[in-house]
Amino acid sequence: MCGIFAVIGSREVSSLLIDGLRKLEYRGYDSAGIATIDNLNNDQNGQLNVTKSKGKLINLSSLIKKKPQKGHVGIAHTRWATHGKPNERNAHPHLDSSGQFAVVQNGIIENYRELSKRLKVKGIKLTTETDTEIIPHLIGLEIEESLANGLSPNEQTLLLAVQKVLAVLEGTYAIAVIWSRTPNALVVAREQAPLVLGFGEGEFFCASDTPALVGLTRTFLPLRDHEIALLTPLGIELYDDDGNRQHRAPSLLKGMELFADKRNFRHFMLKEIYEQPETAQLWIDRFLPVELPSHNPVAFPISKSILEQIEQIQILACGTSRHAGMVGGHLLEQFAGVPTKVYFASEFRYAPPPLSPNTLTIGVSQSGETADTLAALRMEKERRDSTKDANFSFHHLGITNRVDSSFGRELDNVIDIGSGIEIGVAATKTFLGQMLSFYGLTLQFASLRQKRSPQEILDLSNDLRLIPKQLSDLIKKHDSLSKDLAHLFVETKDVIFLGRGINYPIALEGALKLKEISYIHAQGYPAGELKHGPIALLDQHVPVVSLAVPGVVYEKVLSNSQEAKARDARLIGVSISGPESEMFDELFTIPKVSEWVSPLLTVVPLQLFSYHIAAHKGLDVDQPRNLAKCVTVE
């Protein structure tokens, strides 16, 4: 969360900074700001100019339009507040008392309280509630000392000062720093928060994520932990934390054509829902081509020798990714016979289960940057590596939409779900891609362990191959139906989602989507739990959405739905059409498919239902309040 963008070159940068932030706004949008150095006399004494604004980027960009800010170097930030309210004062960039140093930060400085006490002793008064403001003050103090010791006010002095300050910071963060006396220098550093460098023609960039570089350069290099870089109009110098110069070849951005274009859709979320048939088709073409034999049904880049050792699986993820993991957990246990547990990554880290032998740990994250998931994976690696017992080795796998993320760099085996960039904060097509990857793993394990016959493997594979067309039909049908129904729920305060078995995670996902974007309180329950408490909530004002899919628990879910209807709840079914479905007040029909693949379809009406309610309420669907696309703080 929070987006950093910075540029140095030979042209005016303020509009580039705003454009860069626009492409990163999905990372946080409660306030924004830029700082540039106006090199007035073309000497080494520029003037630092800062503009900040509360709220969406549009507020900042209209300020800059009214009062353009000069400079060939600048840093910019879009914020998702962690320390201090989202207001103009707490917005980044933050300055030192002399107004010479400006800093933007993404992450959390854990020891900022202790460091602010040190600053207080030196008579420095902090003016914001943030954990970031200490950084420019600390840099200012270091520079003061360096200059007193005879160093010149140049970029190497700035680099050295930032290096010294980094050594005392604790936490996970990425920063960018400028100094008014070095208008030809920009210093950036990373400690477990994402940061990439971009190489343009005569200009260089730094950003929290690659989309910010689109249209400026295709050549980029992700910074590694503990690295610091000095950017000048002539190039980039990269150093490790011991000050050793680093040389690595940059990479080329791929798939830029997929970048943020709403086409004719009103919101990215709707566009991304509509892209799901394509997501599924691309996934199938890549991983499930028809020519693969039943003893090796999926073209995943994971060595068979690793999978053969696995006796159990643990899945670590947050939010929607955890729901995909839960669908995966059901499939892996029930179809492939592999004992599987799914954890909240944020809980796992502090309450891990006792170590189990021959365990595959799967991390799931569309962004590949979620701090809780990364921390849980790192912790698991550390404790397994420290046993030195081969039975407890850290076998691991990441499922992500961003192979150029920390997931991609830190994990040896990664399944790229290849859904294309997702801009809407509410995950939709990446959820589908994550679920599909679990179907792939399930097929692989089921065939490897001979848990299922070749015919069963073939049946599931063929059912998956039908999904793109079925998705496309469903989206067309339910887009207009949910649009028509939306007005009925505008005043609704609570909604209960019921599902069982493989569709229980979809009930959770439906409730999460509705909460996130429409701000309606919603709870997902295993349908059988209704009578154990939540039924007390039901009356004509609390609609119940019921996922009733023919299969093991069909009759049970129908009875649970009847119980809700008997309490006057408005009943919305996601089910096949038939005599049983007459009990529903509203019905999102789905085709008759095998229960195994049903979650890939049942989630679609729920996404559209949430979308249309939020859009009807006039809410900011793509950037809901208090949320961010990428949660890089724990």
In the complex, the residues that contact ligand M6R under the rule CB under 6 A are 318-321, 365-367, 370, 373, 425-427, 516, 627, 630-631
CB 265, min distance to ligand M6R, A: 18
Residue 45: CB atoms within 10 A of its CB come to 15
In angstroms, the CA 394 to CA 150 distance is 51
- The pair of three-digit structure tokens given for residue 607, joined into one six-digit string: 């996404």
Q: Closer to ligand M6R at the Cβ: 155 or 634? A: 634
Distance (Å, whole) CA 385 – CA 374: 16
In the bound state, the residue with its beta carbon closest to ligand M6R is 319
Closest alpha carbon to 438 in 597, 277, 604, 630: 597
Alpha-carbon span 129 to 81, nearest angstrom: 10
Measured in residues, the chain has a length of 634
* Shortest CB 624 distance to ligand M6R, Å: 8
Buried b (16+ CB within 10 A) or exposed e, 50-71: bbbbbebbeebbebbeeeebbb
Q: Toward ligand M6R, which CB reaches closer, 279 or 370?
A: 370
Helix (H) or strand (E) holding 615: helix 599-616
**Nearer to ligand M6R among residue 9 and residue 329 (C-beta):** 329
Q: Are 103 and 93 in contact (CB under 8 A)?
A: yes
Closest of 313, 356, 357, 361 to residue 333, by C-alpha = 313
Q: Which is nearer to ligand M6R, 174 or 318 (CB)?
A: 318
Residue with Cβ nearer ligand M6R (60 or 436): 436
Q: Which of residues 256 and 627 has its CB atom nearest to ligand M6R in the complex?
A: 627
Task: Give dist(CA 176, CA 13) in Å, integer.
Answer: 15
Q: State how far the Cα of 606 lies from the Cα of 512, in Å rounded to an integer.
A: 10
Closer to ligand M6R by CB, 299 or 403: give it: 403
Q: Name the residue nearer to ligand M6R (CB basis): 319 or 501.
A: 319
In 3D space, the residue among 261, 259, 269, 322 whose CA is nearest the CA of residue 475 turns out to be 269
Using CB atoms within 10 Å of the CB of residue 17, give its burial: 0 to 12 exposed, 13 to 18 middle, 19+ buried.
Answer: buried
Q: Helix crossing, 429-448 with 319-334: angle to 10°?
A: 20
Q: With 0-12 CB in 10 A as exposed, 13-18 as middle and 19+ as buried, what is 611? A: buried
Phi, psi at 293, each rounded to 5°: -75, 160
List, in order, residues 6 or more apart from 202 with CB less than 8 Å away: 9, 10, 233
Residue 629 annotated as catalytic: yes
Nearest CB to ligand M6R, comparing residues 400 and 470: 400
User: Under a CB-based contact definition with an 8 Å cutoff, are residues 401 and 428 in contact?
Assistant: no
On whether the CB atoms of residues 623 and 29 are closer than 8 A, the answer is yes
Output the 3-class SS for 139-152.
HHHHHHHHHHCCCC
Given the residues 2, 206, 318, 630, select the one marked as catalytic: 2
Report in angstroms the alpha-carbon separations of 166 from 33, 195, 328: 23, 15, 41
Q: Which is nearer to ligand M6R, 400 or 546 (CB)?
A: 400
Q: CB of 620: closest distance to ligand M6R in angstroms?
A: 14
Nearer to ligand M6R among residue 82 and residue 367 (C-beta): 367
CA 319 to CA 82: how far, in whole Å? 19
Cβ contact 608:579 at 8 Å: no
User: Degrees (nearest 5) of the Cα angle 278, 594, 440?
Assistant: 55
CB of 580 to ligand M6R, least distance (A): 31
Burial label, 557 (beta-carbon count in 10 A; 0-12, 13-18, 19+): buried
Query: Residue written as tokens 């129904």?
Result: 485
Q: Strand, helix or coil at 584?
A: coil
3-state secondary structure 517-578: HHCCEEEEEEHHHHHHCHHHHCCCCCCEEEEECCCCCHHHHHHHHHHHHCCCCCEEEEECCC
Closest separation in Å from C-beta 406 to ligand M6R: 11
| Residue 78 CB, nearest approach to ligand M6R (Å) | 17
Per the listing, tokens 């496309």 go with 472
Of 23, 206, 629, 630, catalytic: 629
**Angle value at C-alpha 225, between 381 and 352, nearest 5 degrees:** 25
CB closer to ligand M6R out of 205 and 611: 611
Q: Indicate which residues carry an active-site annotation.
A: 2, 629
